[in-house]
Chains A and B, each alone.
Chain A
Amino acid sequence: MIKIKAKNVDVFYGKKQALYNIGLDIEENQVTALIGPSGCGKSTFLRCLNRMNDVIDICSVKGEILINDFNINDKSCDVVRLREKIGMVFQKPNPFPKTVYENISYGPTIHGMAQSKQEMDEIVETSLKKAALWEEVKDRLHEAGTGLSGGQQQRLCIARAISVRPEVILMDEPCSALDPIATAQIEELIDELKKEHTIIIVTHSMAQAARVSQNTGFFHLGHLIEHGSTDKIFKNPDNTKTQDYITGRFG
């Protein structure tokens, strides 16, 4: 099943074009990895999917991005509703400087997802359990989220993202600030999360893309050079640039 369909997407920062005519289909309940050298536009593309580029004044996005066959670049699209459905995890863990509990309950609160304290407690617990963080923080729910370790903070951010039960989770190099053990935990988590969510992950680590993803897209200088199943991209790419990047000859 195709969850997201990007057609002819161009992105400009002022006069500078960052993405050229991107067309990409993303499968439901699978992990899609976006790889490519720094500055190739993969993060920019990711941020198109929940319209986070709106925040940047000079950025303009053209083309169609269909999620459940609805064009999110359409004027009638409400970004608040969109971002409720499409969660995001950032490169650097960015928990709110509040308690662990408040970090998770923020999304459900603003979207009115819990009618009572009990319901909220349940949402917090299930979110933390899904993010494999519950055991570590269940006794310190009311301590500052910023007091956790880096890996825990990133899982807290994942728990925060899934607290509103999004259909899609965008991850922008979620492990780049973490050590190998924390990275392994997150990767395990991604594998678990894909049962219920569609996941798109930007990564610099080829090994990570190979480990966690079913599909891969390779970006270079604003162009989507090649995309397809991870197996094919890594073992038998069509394009020589892809081949060169994957084997480490550039990038």
Chain B
Amino acid sequence: MNKSKEQLLNKRYKAEQRFRLYGLSAIFMALLFLTIFIFKIFSTGYSAFQKTWLIVPVTFDAELMMLEQNPSNEDLQDADYYDIALKSMADLDPNANEDQENELKRMVSYFFEKEIKNELLNNPGLIGKTKEVYLTASDDLDQVFKGNYPRDLPEDQRRVSDYQLKIFDQLVAKGKVESKFNISFFTYADSREPELAGIASSFMGSIFSILVCLMIAFPVAVLAAIYLEEFAPKNRLTDFIEVNINNLAAVPSIVFGLLGLGVLLAIFHLPRSTPLVGGITLSLMTLPTIIIAARASLKAVPPSIREAALAMGASRMQTTMHHTVPLSMPGTLSGTIIGLAQALGETAPLILIGMVAFVNTIPGSPMDPAASLPVQIYIWAESAERGFVEKVSACIMVLLGFLIIMNLFAQIIRHKFEKKWS
């Protein structure tokens, strides 16, 4: 081997090594960013799954509740719980003056009256007795207990007063503060109060939107793909349509939002802020994704299968419906799920059609106003209260979990149902 050839060989080896290094470092970078992102989300968000409760002794004083002897269930429903609720909070510090009593009241959420009422409704025998009741702590104390609150700030820059902190610390010392799994995060709708805010409304909103989107986009897209791939003649017009479908996939989502606003709301007067409108808008966005996936998987069906069916005397329609379409379904379905996952994470078009409205009810149908998970993230991220910081991350975790499950499902469909060609 002469010298120059050896040099060439060395150069080639080095180039290959360098190339591998570039590739590895690219993967390393990607993984690093992903890890930082996930770590950040989890470390901020995990505490939202815990909720702080104050355990407060409540005396169910029949007189204060304006209850007569042997009250019926209805009487219990209509009784006045506000006074005993106020009194139980005030009793935490027997020496409190009026201002301080007010501060004591603000240590729990404004649901405290309802929480005390539920306690009695579950156990009517409590009348005249005293029982310790779990009351939702205010969002600021919740953050204090979780260690997220800067206690060393000057008092006038804090939302928690020194007096509240003193009483809270006494309660903690007595073991009367407890942290439990935050069920209400999943069962409550949105609220202005972080301690009472949950994702139920936006979760259901997302589910309804996705269902509406699926029901519209899937049949339309699959039929369009089948027609274009199996029946349409290949000419300038179909080429033009194909190019435009690809263009449609590249249109920024906010434009679809404007379309939804201008057409669905302004012309057809569909109910604003509802998953119905959201789903239709998202379906416009998902349509090209599914069409492209469906066409690709129809193309992947070997022509020999079509020929076999045609030569057996199957009509074009039978060939398509009996053979080509079933064989293309795994690819189409996984493309659909990926399109839906995209739609699930979409925020901009939903904001435009009004799904950003504050909704504190859980929607029972696609016709009821609702938010959606990504919009909920946006709403909370905009809010000033410290308690929403962890909620944002927790909501992202739920959304990511949802997306991961959908993508996993797409993978499973692809691997399990895809036929192997001989």
* Interfacial residues, chain A to chain B (CB-CB below 8 A): 50, 52, 55, 57, 80-84, 87-88, 90, 92-97, 106-107, 110-111, 146, 153, 157, 160-161, 164
In the bound complex, do residue B312 and residue A164 qualify as a contact, i.e. CB atoms below 8 Å apart? yes
Q: How many chain-B residues does the 8 Å CB contact rule pick out?
A: 23
Contacts A110-B318, A153-B422 known; A96 to B308 CB distance under 8 Å? Answer: yes
Which residues of chain A are near B327, meaning CB under 8 Å? 97
The one of B308, B315, B420 that contacts A157, using a Cβ cutoff of 8 Å = B308
Check if B234 sits within 8 Å of A57, measured CB to CB: yes
Tell me the bound Cα distance from A123 to B84 in angstroms.
Answer: 86
Q: Which chain A residue has the least Cβ–Cβ distance from B314?
A: A110
A96 to B234, CA, bound (A): 26
Contacts of B245 in A (CB 8 A): none
Smallest CB-CB A-B distances: 10 pairs: A94-B304, A88-B311, A83-B313, A84-B313, A146-B422, A97-B419, A107-B312, A94-B308, A80-B313, A80-B315
Q: Contact at B312–A110, with CB atoms within 8 Å?
A: yes
A96: B residues at CB distance < 8 A = 305, 308-309, 323
Q: Taking the nearest CB of chain B, how far is it from the CB of A12, in angstroms? A: 17
| Least Cβ–Cβ distance between B187 and chain A, in angstroms | 47
Residues on A with C-beta less than 8 A from B155 are none
A residues less than 8 Å from B119 (CB atoms) = none
Beta-carbon contact of B312 and A94 below 8 Å? no
B311 to chain A, nearest CB (A): 4
CB within 8 Å of A: which B360-379 residues: none
Question: Which B residues are in CB contact (< 8 Å) with A50?
Answer: 311
* CA of A83 to CA of B309, assembled, Å: 10
What CA separation (Å) do A71 and B322 show in the bound complex?
A: 30
| Contact indicator B421/A146 (Cβ below 8 Å) | yes
Measured between beta carbons, the chain B residues less than 8 angstroms from A80 are 313-315
In the complex, what's the smallest C-beta–C-beta distance from B208 to chain A, in angstroms? Answer: 37
- Check: B406 CB closer than 8 A to any chain A CB: no
Complex Cα–Cα for A96 and B319 (A)? 11
Bound state CA distance, A52 and B419, in angstroms?
26
> Once the chains bind, are B312 and A52 in contact (CB under 8 Å)?
no
Known: A57-B234, A146-B421. A52 touches B307 (CB 8 A): yes
A-side contacts of B71, CB under 8 Å: none
Task: Kindly identify which residue among B304, B310, B315, B322 contacts A92, using a CB–CB cutoff of 8 Å.
Answer: B304
**Most chain A CB within a 10 A radius of its CB, from B308, B312, B419:** B312
**A146 interface neighbour in B233, B307, B309, B420, Cβ under 8 Å:** B420
- Cβ contact within 8 Å between A57 and B304: no
* A111 with B313: CB separation less than 8 A: yes
**Candidate in B323, B419, B422 with the most chain A CB atoms within 10 angstroms:** B422
How far is B373's CA from A110's CA once the two chains are assembled, in angstroms? 49
* Nearest CB of A to B216, in Å: 31
List 6 contacting pairs A-B, 8 Å CB cutoff, sorted by A.
A57-B234, A83-B310, A93-B422, A95-B422, A96-B308, A146-B422
Taking CB as reference atom, which chain A residue is nearest B301?
A97
Contacts of B310 in A (CB 8 A): 52, 55, 83
Chain B residues, CB < 8 A from A164: 312-313
Q: A52-B307, A55-B307 are in contact. Are A110 and B421 (CB under 8 A)?
A: no
Smallest CB–CB gap between B336 and chain A, Å?
22
Q: In the complex, which residues 365-422 of chain B have their Cβ closer than 8 Å to any Cβ of chain A?
A: 419-422
A-contact bits for B293-330, CB 8 A (1 contact / 0 none): 00000000010111111111111001000110001000
Chain B residues whose C-beta falls within 8 Å of the C-beta of A52 in the assembled complex: 307, 310-311
Q: When chains A and B are docked, how far (Å) is the Cα of A94 from the Cα of B319? A: 14
Give Cα distance in the complex from A55 to B307, angstroms.
Answer: 9
Give the distance to chain B from A104, nearest Cβ to Cβ, in Å: 10
User: How many Å lie between the Cα of A95 and that of B420 in the bound state?
Assistant: 12
Q: Which residues of A contact B421 (CB under 8 A)?
A: 97, 146
Residues of A contacting B234 in the complex (Cβ-Cβ under 8 angstroms): 57
A90 pairs with B307, CB closer than 8 A = yes
Per the bound structure, the CA–CA distance linking A92 and B420 in Å amounts to 16
Distance, CA A57 to CA B234, complexed state (A): 8
Q: Which residues of B are found within 8 Å of A110, using beta-carbon distances?
A: 312-314, 318, 322
Distance, CA A110 to CA B311, complexed state (A): 12
Task: Pick the residue among A82, A93, A94 that contacts B307 (CB under 8 A).
Answer: A94
Chain A residues within 8 Å of B233, by CB: 57
Question: How close is B134's CB to chain A, nearest CB, in angstroms?
Answer: 60
B313's partner among A93, A97, A107, A146 (CB-CB below 8 A) is A107
